[in-house]
Structure 1
Amino acid sequence: MVFVVFIVAAIITFAAATKLSTYADALSRLSGLGSLLIGTFLLAVATALPEVTTTVTAVFLDNPDMAVGNILGSNHFNLLILAVFDIIYRKRKMLAHIYKQQRYTALFGVFMTLVIALAIFMRLDIPILTIGIDALIIVALYLLSLWIIQRTPVPEQEKNHSSQEEEYSLKHALMGFIIMAIIIFISGTALTLSGDQIALITGLGSSFVGSFLIAGSTSLPEVVTVLTAMRLNNENLAAASIYGSNLFNMLLLVVCDLIYRGPILQSISLSHAVTAIFLLINSSLVCYAMFARKNRRFYTWPSLVMILFYILTMVWLYYSS
């Protein structure tokens, strides 16, 4: 029965996300905010809602390995999504054509992942206001990224698209977006509870289940978002939703620190350190792909390497669980 609940919850999450990015694409034009800001913070937070429920619920279940594994695994899976679609749409060279402002979110993703990796390895135990110094740094980096992107002007070529005929009104797009986000939020709780039971039944361990099974399922909205955005010829919305989700996911570690009985990164298995290292490598590869842009002789090699590192991470977690 628990497997049925897990599958049904995953399907509902997938279905709700089908319309989410369509509404976000319309909002980026109707609101005048642009796909960078809408994708990085509005759409990214909405698609990351399953991570909120799964991570917080895992903490209340006293399962820090699943909570942290879900965050790191979701970020890994999100970058995998970006790599796979970059290969599928290689002729369009997605990472080479997105706005240069996207580099900011990619770089902040590298910095925040580095902080997490160092905290796991060095076992930083300097509590400030009941949370670790690593959590404070993550909050500061997230707020800084929000400030920088908020000050980034909407590119002229995106403003030129605002004159096209719209299928939705601003009110219709906003209401539809909110409804889909609520559905995704509810289905995330069911994914966590059933996933925790699957970890016990299969004996695979919370690190592997959290980083692979649940993380992959809660990242279904990102899969649909990127696919829909690419079909709408909006590469910037697709990339912004991935980068923004990764930043928001790492901000959840601060929430975990606040509600857990101690610094959560000091209560997890060291197997997560390997996940953090591979995630740091893949985040750096994304930055390279964006900064190098069209100058690569073999365009898809960074994405191919990212897929390889994801597979190595999952193999490691499986055998170390």
Structure 2
Amino acid sequence: MIERILILVAALAASLIIVIKSADLFVDNLVDLGSSFGISEVILGVTASAIGTSLPEFGSALIASLSGSTDIGVGCVIGSNIWNIAGILGISAVVAGVIETNTDGLKRDFSATILTGLVLLFFMFFGSIGKVAAVIMVVVYLVYLMRLINAQKAYSKDSSNERMKEPLDVKKIGLTVLGFTGLVIGCRILVYTGVELADIAGIPAMIMGLFTLAIGTSIPELVVTLSSAVKGLHELSIGTVLGSNTFNILIGIGVPAMINPVPVEPLSLSFDAPVMILVSVLLVLLIRQGGMKLRRSGGIILLAVYISYIVMRLFVLA
């Protein structure tokens, strides 16, 4: 047993290194490719970067649904979204000092994040998320994508953004794919080792999803967001988190619910989902209070909220 634990810990450490290096490669080359195609930083964040880094959560939820372990899937999505905002943006703001955004991004992407949280909460009131709800959630995501496409068209027409586009570099495409592949492989190892270690420790399925898998599968967002924030790519940083949260709910729960109905745990309905929405609202308030910037003080507040959530969920309400 001790040897198995040591092997799992070693695999966990190796997967973390793979994820960190791959995310750095992915971010650098994704931004360069975006410049080549004339795509704005924020659109890259809420689409390519967000969806790419959300694949571990989506894969975990889908596999959980196929295997009948739906508690893990739902917990992974809700837990990831809380961690993405309170944990990832909190850490990124503390390390980078400040993360900036703009009014357009705030209206479009923050409203989408809060709206999808309310949509999920609404369907959770019915006791389970079935196929009808799943179809509605997927359609809502397609509508959101259309808004992003329109936003990109407006960006391209803006004369202030008419700058010399860099020539398309095939090497950068290869490096972007390599970085993304490393993220997928590294996160797959990370999730597997995390689940195995949690099983050995006797952690319940819902708690495993809310914390072990949620944080584990969100490491790509953490690394990409933190790396983007430190490099001054603030819109990519925030866009990755917000786009990821929207994708996690509408696709990460919507698609698995098309396969099997997703049951709703009472505590998730009364506590976890409301906390997810509240931290989203808190983030908006902190950014507005900071003059369209999430400052280091705001990051500290978000981290304090996440720690409080952990204490309440694990030791008070468990």
Alignment partner, residue 283 of structure 1: 280
Deviations 1:169-212 (A, max 9, x none): 53222221122212222333333333332332111212222221
Determine whether 1:213 maps to 2:209: no
Matched-pair contact (CA < 8 Å) for 1:204–1:318: no
- Judged with a 3 Å threshold, the aligned counterparts in structure 2 of structure 1 residues 108 and 69 are, in CA distance, closer, same or farther, namely same
**C-alpha contact 1:55 1:67 (8 A) present in aligned 2:** yes
Which residue is equivalent to 1:106?
Answer: 110
Give the C-alpha shift of residue 218 in structure 1. Answer: 1.7
Is there any run of 5+ residues in structure 2 with no aligned partner, and where? none
Query: Within 2, Cα distance between the matches of 1:288 and 1:137?
Result: 29
Moved more, 113-122 or 215-224: 113-122
Identity of aligned residues (%): 20
Contact 2:54–2:248, Cα closer than 8 Å, also in 1? yes
Between 284-293 and 177-186, report the one with greater CA deviation.
Answer: 284-293
Deviates more, 1:220-229 or 1:40-49: 220-229
CA distance in 2, matches of 1:292, 1:148: 27
Per the alignment, do residues 299 and 234 of structure 1 end up closer, same or farther by CA in structure 2, a change over 3 Å counting? closer
Does the alignment pair 1:4 with 2:10? Answer: yes
Matched-pair contact (CA < 8 Å) for 1:27–1:173: yes
- TM-score normalised per structure 1: 0.83
Q: Distance in 2 between matches of 1:62 and 1:191?
A: 21
Look up the match of 2:256.
256
Q: For 1:103-160, what per-residue CA distance to the aligned partner results, in whole angstroms no more than 9, with x for missing partners?
A: 31111110111122233344256x5xxx142x23322332222111211122869837
Determine if the alignment matches structure 1 residue 39 to structure 2 residue 45.
Answer: yes
Decide whether the 8 Å contact of 1:27 with 1:38 is kept in 2.
Answer: no
Corresponding position: 1:86 with 2:98: no
CA deviation after TM superposition for structure 1 residue 163, in Å:
4.6
Residue type of the alignment partner of 2:302: M
Name the aligned partner's letter for residue 155 of structure 2: V
Instruction: Indicate the SS of the match to 2:198.
Output: helix
CA distance in 2, matches of 1:237, 1:147: 19
1:28 to 34, 49, 59: 34
Q: Deviation digits for residues 58-91 of structure 1, max 9, x if unmatched?
A: 223322121111111111111121123234444x
RMSD across aligned positions (CA)? 2.8
1:32-64: CA deviation from partner (whole Å, max 9, x where unpaired): 011122111011111112212222222233221
SS for the counterpart of 2:104 is coil
Identify the match of residue 161 of structure 2 among 159, 163, 166.
159
Matched letter for residue 252 of structure 1 = G
Q: Which residue of 2 aligns with 1:270?
A: 266
Query: Structure 1: where are the runs of 5+ without partners?
Result: none
* Aligned amino acid, residue 145 of structure 1: Y
Give yes or no for contact 2:224–2:237 (8 Å, CA) kept in 1: yes
Matches within 5 A, 1:115-134: 115-123=119-127, 127=130, 131-133=131-133
Q: Deviations over 1:11-32 (max 9, x none)?
A: 3222211211111221221110
